[in-house]
Structure 1
């Protein structure tokens, strides 16, 4: 199983979500069975580490995302990943706009796919401070916990096979 989290620049929300997902997956029966990556719809920050505030926020929750590097969503990501999990509605629209018809069904809003905070986007904390990064963390970590629960249930029921 391969999950790709997508936001705008891949320096705030999607690296936070990638870090939360990796941490929750690694601490679950899914360890070694699910791969997680992140990307941005734009290329402004390609090659850069996450925003220092995102790194500090994740670190405060025991998760190290400092080694991650921003990259732009690539056309081959649609084939390479089972799910493209978008941070907000604009990201969802942008990713769907570029999606081949055969991949449209696997482009979803992260929180809705996780089954938490239905219809609630992960707000972009870039223009805010630590409180906005903490809010984004709470949302992506809640989604990460729910993703683990969902995927464990799907594996247990045979919906997903190794």
Structure 2
């Protein structure tokens, strides 16, 4: 969901040529699959494209390929750090942060997984807030 929302915002700002948006999970159980049915339904309602999105697993190379790696919860943050330590080397440029650290005054510190909670609308609201905040940071860095 966050990848689709962020891509949508980046495209709306005309920044697709300079900002690459991708997502990856820490587990391997959904590799190659499309977003969850509940996510697809919500994104369709919001008219946000998820075309071509397929799940992949985070790799050590991601720390070299991306400038900001955003983790949705604390366990994913720890898992990403572990994967990156296994592939540590020169040239790492990826800063790893938690998603909700982007949202000032947020009422939660982690984004709940709607796969388990079923609350896709709440997750969308959090994702939208975080993506707007991240986009503002990116725009400041680009200027």
Q: When the two structures are superposed, what TM-score results if normalisation uses the length of structure 2?
A: 0.87
Q: How does 1:1-162 map to 2 (within 5 A)?
A: 16-100=1-85, 103=92, 106-112=95-101, 114-116=102-104, 117=106, 120-129=109-118, 132-156=119-143
SS in 1 for 2:23: strand
Structure 1 residues not aligned, in runs of 5+: 1-15, 157-162
Alignment check: 8 A CA contact 1:55 1:66 kept: no
Segments of 4+ moved more than 2 angstroms:
100-105, 114-119
17-26 or 119-128: which moved more? 119-128
The root-mean-square deviation of aligned C-alpha atoms, in Å, is 2.0
Aligned length: 138
Alignment check: 8 A CA contact 1:28 1:148 kept: no
1:33 shift after superposition: 1.0
Alignment check: 8 A CA contact 1:83 1:107 kept: yes
SS in 1 for 2:114: coil
Alignment check: 8 A CA contact 2:63 2:94 kept: no
1:74 shift after superposition: 1.3
| Structure 2 CA distance for partners of 1:58 and 1:28, relative to 1, 3 Å | same
How many Å separate the matches in 1 of 2:116 and 2:70? Answer: 22
How many Å separate the matches in 1 of 2:27 and 2:121? Answer: 23
